[in-house]
Each structure stands twice: as C-alpha cells, then as structure tokens.
C-alpha cells in the first residue's frame, strides 16, 4: 500500500474451483479505511471459471462495483477516494486487466472484464500486486492454518484482547 496518499484500500482474493461439488470458486474482498475494515464479503461465484485468473476477474468486477459505491458514499462526506488501490495476489490477472488483451477464450467473462477495464481506464481504481501472505482478503476465501489465520486477522486490525 505504500505510495498511496488516501486511506481507502481494497483487497480481493479467490480460491479457484474450491467447491468440489460444482467447481465454483469462492471469492472474498475487503475495503479498509485508515487500516480498519469497513466493507467486506465472502461468497461463492455464480459461474464456473476456467482458471484462477478468470476467477480473479469475476471477483475484481464485484470488488470494483463495491469500490465505486464507496467512492459515491465518500463524496457525501466530502472525501475524494479516487483512485482506490485494489490489491490482488494474481499477477496474470493484473496484466490481463491493465492491458487490452480480450480473447475468445475469455468471452464468457466478457462483462466482468469490460467493467474492470473501464474502471481502470477511467482512473477510478488502480490494480496492484500484494503477496498472498500480506493479503487480508485471504481469510475470506479459504480455511487457513492457525498462524496464517491470526496473521490475516492482524492485517485487518483485529487482535485478541
């Protein structure tokens, strides 16, 4: 998150094809304001994707929509959050979304691609890479070993009292 001057940031993650019954992915996102979580979700995606990059694309589209809502809410309180940094641990997704590389192999996620790409082009969001171990959205997509779970809680500012 270094290099960003505002205090709103988003984090997104997916667990590709994690449901063994239908192979749909689990996605999670969290937005923090001044380091504290203010908006988050964890849910199964409504479609089957063919790769972790595509699963991230679907998750980022939904994460971006939440970010746009937070931008509008911030304006009511005279905050300008544009652009919002959104962090993901999938570098191929960042490359795909920031370059105009649509192909017939990804046609089934076309609307998600265009929504995210349009938000990047408009300067509303900036995608940035974050190590998996430093991504607080990780806790929303999969069961973690105790040490990683506690680490994710601390990244969200949640501590045992």
44-73: per-residue pLDDT in tens? 998 888 888 888 888 888 999 999 999 999
Contacts of 18 (CB under 8 A, 6+ apart): 24, 25, 26, 141, 142
What's the predicted TM-score (pTM) here? 0.81
Classify domain 8-155 at the CATH topology level: Nucleotidyltransferase; domain 5 (3.30.420)
More confident residue, 48 or 86: 86
Give the per-residue pLDDT at 29: 95
pLDDT (tens digit per residue) in 91-102: 887 887 777 655
Report how far apart the first and last C-alpha atoms of the chain are (Å, whole number).
Answer: 27
Q: What angle do CA 149, 29, 78 make, to 5 degrees?
A: 120
DSSP character at residue 12: E
pLDDT class of 142 with cuts at 50, 70, 90? confident
């Amino acid at each position: 998150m270094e290099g960003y001057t505002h205090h709103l940031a988003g984090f997104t993650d997916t667990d590709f094809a994690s449901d063994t019954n239908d192979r749909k992915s689990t996605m999670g996102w969290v937005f923090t304001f001044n380091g504290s979580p203010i908006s988050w979700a964890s849910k199964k995606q409504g479609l089957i994707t063919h790769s972790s990059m595509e699963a991230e694309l679907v998750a980022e589209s939904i994460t971006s929509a939440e970010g746009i809502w937070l931008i509008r809410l911030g304006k009511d309180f005279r905050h300008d959050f544009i652009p919002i940094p959104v962090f993901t641990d999938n570098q191929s997704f960042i490359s795909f979304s920031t370059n105009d590389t649509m192909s017939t192999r990804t046609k089934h996620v076309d609307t998600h691609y265009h929504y995210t790409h349009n938000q990047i082009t408009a300067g509303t969001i900036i995608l940035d890479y974050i190590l998996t171990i430093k991504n607080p959205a990780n806790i929303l997509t999969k069961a973690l070993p105790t040490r990683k779970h506690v680490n994710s809680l601390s990244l969200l500012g949640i501590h045992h009292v």
